[in-house]
Structure formats: structure tokens, C-alpha cells
Structure 1
Amino acid sequence: MLEQILAHYQPFQPVVLLDPEIDRLLLMDFTDRNTSITPEILDNTDRFTAYVNQLLEDHDCTFGIGGYAEHRTIYARSEHFSTGEEPRRLHLGIDIWGPVNTYVFAPLDGTVHSFRFNDVHGDYGATIILQHQLEGHTFHTLYGHLSLKDLEGLQEGMRVAAGQLIAHFGDIPENGHWPPHLHFQIITDMEGNKGDYPGVCRYSEKAQYLANCPDPDLILQFMP
């Protein structure tokens, strides 16, 4: 039902500003099909950042994009995703890779549900979650890997307008130690979580998590 509502509720305000005449998007692959990502790159965030930046430069693209429902080997770089008998590898959001301090905007009206600095290697770092209402349905949007300054002055329940600047791409020390990017995710039921919700799940839990986290491109409208 939510997917149908989002598909017909257009246009949303852009989450990241793109000039169609200048800015190009590169579809990026972080599965085991991409053999150019070596353990040496993944084990060093500066090298990983240089790798992403070089890819964008080589393809003359402003932003990299992709990752929804992608089974990603890159999560082996952090113990955060490898607890328990089965590691977490299935990505539940869309990533937008680009320069530090890139502006992030609210795609539609809402309120601040929660926020937190998830300061663990491989986690979201600075995180904001908004709550929205559309046609009687409540859902949430999560913004991960932000700048710490974006959490200053926030309060739960604070109103946010469509198109309002809410955040910036965070730098490595504050974004969970990743190359700068935005993790954008739609979540129907927060299941009691605040300031955090899994952005990566175990493959055995794929069906239930994808049902609760529909394709973020319903809002972004980036993918062909």
C-alpha cells in the first residue's frame, strides 16, 4: 500500500540537488562482482575514499548511486555487521556518494522522529530520522552518515518542511568511517527504534526487512 501511495505522490522535493545539464550519476556496484575493490582498499577508509572519488572522476560523474537490496561484500570491513552466526550483508537503502558537506533536503513535510550519533566503525555516524504522513499512512525516512553539526538544536517532534535543508554529507570521523555519502532509507514501522534502524540485514531476513523498507527510489526518482 505505501509503495502505491509513494508511486503516485509526485513530485517529491529532491533529497540531493542535481542539475540535469551538469551533474551525472554513476551506478556503483559494491557486490562481489566488483573485483576492483580489494581488501587493502576496504581496510583503509582513506584508500576507500580515494577509490570512490577516482571512480567518479573517471566517469565524469558528480555522484555515485545505488545499493538497494544489494548483497554487499564490503560490509566485511566492519565487525559491526558480523556479529552472530550469520553476518549482515543485504543493504536496505540507497547510497548517494559525493563530496563532504553536500546538502541534504527533506523530500516532504514531516517531523523529527529521532536522531543520534551512532559512533561505531561501520555504523551510520550522525543520523536523523523523519516521520511523515501521507493519505493516512505513517512512514519514516532515515538519513545516515551526516555531519555532527546537523544534530545540534534538533528536538523530537520538530516540524520539517518539504525542501528544507536538514543535513550535510559528513566527513570520515563523524560518518561511521566511510567515504562521504548519504544513506537514504524508507521505513514503515520503526519497531520501537530511535535514532537508529538497521540499514543492512541478514540475507535470511530479506523478505521481512524489504517489506518494511520499500525502495527509496520511490522518493528519489534517480534510477532509470
Structure 2
Amino acid sequence: MLATEKLAAYIKVRPGAIGKVVDFDVKSDKLYPLDLTAANTELTPKLVADTEAFSRWINKKLSDNNARYGIGGYMEHRTIYNRSPLFNTDDEPRRLHLGLDIWGDAGTPVYAPLDGTVHSFADNDNFGDYGPTIMLQHNLDGLTLCSLYGHLNRTSLANLQVGQAISKNQQIATFGNAAENGHWPPHLHFQLMLNIGDAKGDYPGVGQYSRRAEYLANIPDPELILQFADANKA
């Protein structure tokens, strides 16, 4: 059974267990689907290499479409990762995006969508990396789920403790700016995993395309938690 099917089975009988990840009114707020693949010819190497220019491009897309957030990326094959040597592994470059991105303003609040505990946290301070990152662990009636929140501001890591109890809909962080979030336009990388091994404060958010089937077995579609599908997409 794929990871998405396992999580979907839990949610189907417990829909009230799911809270929010960001503030969003499905009736009035709009989402703009951002395509960050090679098919988007606007994304030139020069544009994505310049964080300020990349940020202006995203902000204009949201503004022009009256969208509160940009959204997308789960299992998306992206070329933008050539902006950082972090993703250029020797055998096969990492280009497959494993989570889902929510693009918005720096300072946007981030919430825990499920009861859980703080599993780990770290400041992955490399160009193109997550920057400040929080990982939560959730016990869903025997199904262990880990949620990851990347590209946060550094204040989000203050006063956290491993094992700390976190409640559904509790604010845990805010979006970081480019100076602290791994040098990206402000956004949240939200990812779910069933098995994280011995990972702490970091888990790959971009993988090798040849391992896609392996990732699908372990990494559920974040849309199951976000439940944005009914939104009026731009």
C-alpha cells in the first residue's frame, strides 16, 4: 500500500483530527499553482539564480492572480535545483520535489495540523537548503507519521525541546525571509513521511527521479492534510 493510501484510510474515518497548516479560507482565498518544471519557460537559469528576482517573479504571479498563496510541487520534477550544488550528487542529480510548497509572505504563521510531539529541529544553513526546520511526530492510532516544516525563520527554533507536546492548530513557526531560509523566496516546504530512519532536524525534500516509486511508498501526498483541493484556484 502506498503511503498516501495509508494516511487517507486514517483520515477517512477521522476527518475532525486534521487541523490547518496555514491560515486559509477555502471560500474566499485563492491559490495559484506554480509550475517550477522545465515546462515553465519563464524560469530562466538567470532568474532562479537571483533570489531577489525569483522572489519578485513569484510575488507578481500572486498579485496578478489575486492569490493568497502559491502552491505546488509534490513529486514535481524540477530543474530549479541546479541553482545550488547541494542537489548535484555524483551519480544522479536530485531534482524530484518530495513535499509541497506554500509560497507567501515572510512572517506567515505556520501551524501543526495534528496533535504530536517535537521530534527534532535544526538550522540547515546552506545555500538552497531548508534553513530552520522543525520535524513533528504524530501517532495516528498506531500509524506513525512525521511532518516536516522547512524554510522557517530562526525565531521558530527558539525554546523548542525534543519531546515537547504540540497541539492541533498550535502555531509552531513562521515563514522565514531569504536571508535565513536557505536563500529562497519566502515559502513553507511541508512534507510527510512514514519512516524517517535516524534522521534528525533534516530529511531529504528533493530526491532522485529514479527512486520515485520508493518515495511514493513512504511519503504521502500533503494535500491529504492541507485539503486545498476545493479552493478556487486561480
TM tier relative to shorter chain: over 0.9
Moved over 4 A (4+): none
Residue pair 1:113, 1:157 contacting (<8 A) in 2 also: yes
Secondary structure of residue in 1 paired with 2:202: coil
State the match for 2:153 in structure 1: 147
Map of 1:168 onto structure 2: 174
Give 1:127-206 correspondences, 5 Å limit: 127-206=133-212
Paired residue for 2:29? 23
State whether structure 2 residue 75 is matched by structure 1 residue 78: no
Asked if 1 retains the 8 angstrom alpha-carbon contact of 2:32 and 2:71, the reply is yes
Contact 2:117/2:137 (8 A) holds in 1: yes
State the distance in 1 between where 2:148 and 2:133 align.
7
Task: Write out aligned runs for 1:92-111 (5 A).
Answer: 92-111=98-117
- Structure 1 residues not aligned, in runs of 5+: none
- 1:177 and 1:221 mapped to 2: Cα distance? 28
Amino acid aligned to 2:192: I
Q: CA deviation at 1:173?
A: 1.3
| Counterpart check, 1:88 vs 2:94 | yes
- Cα shift at 1:93: 0.5
Matched position secondary structure for 1:173: coil
- Residue 202 of structure 1 deviates from its aligned partner by 0.3
Task: Confirm or deny: 8 A CA contact 1:7 1:218 kept in the other structure.
Answer: no
Aligned match of 2:3: none
- For this pair of structures, how many residues does the alignment match? 224
SS at match of 1:190: coil
Match of 1:209 in 2: 215
Secondary structure of 2:82's match? helix
Partners of 2:117 and 2:184 lie apart in 1 by 27
Determine if contact 1:25/1:65 at 8 Å carries over to the other structure.
yes
Q: Distance in 1 between matches of 2:153 and 2:133?
A: 9
Is the contact between residue 103 and residue 168 of structure 1 (CA under 8 Å) also seen in structure 2? yes
What CA deviation, in whole Å up to 9, does each residue of 1:26-85 have, x standing for no partner?
011001110011111111100000010011111111100011010011111111111212
Indicate if the aligned counterparts of 1:110 and 1:160 stay in contact, CA closer than 8 A.
yes
Does residue 14 of structure 2 align to residue 2 of structure 1?
no
Tell me, what secondary structure is at the counterpart of 2:77?
coil
Secondary structure of residue in 2 paired with 1:138? strand
Amino acid at match of 2:14: Y
Query: Counterpart amino acid of 2:116?
Result: G
Cα separation, 2, equivalents of 1:174 and 1:8:
40
Measure how far apart 1:5 and its partner are: 1.4
Deviates more, 1:134-143 or 1:4-13: 4-13
AA aligned to 2:7 is: L
| 1-structure distance, mates of 2:87, 2:99 | 15
Q: Give SS of 2:134's match.
A: strand
Task: Name the TM-score, length of structure 2 as normaliser.
Answer: 0.93
Using the aligned pairs only, state the percent identity.
53
TM-score, normalised to structure 1, is: 0.97
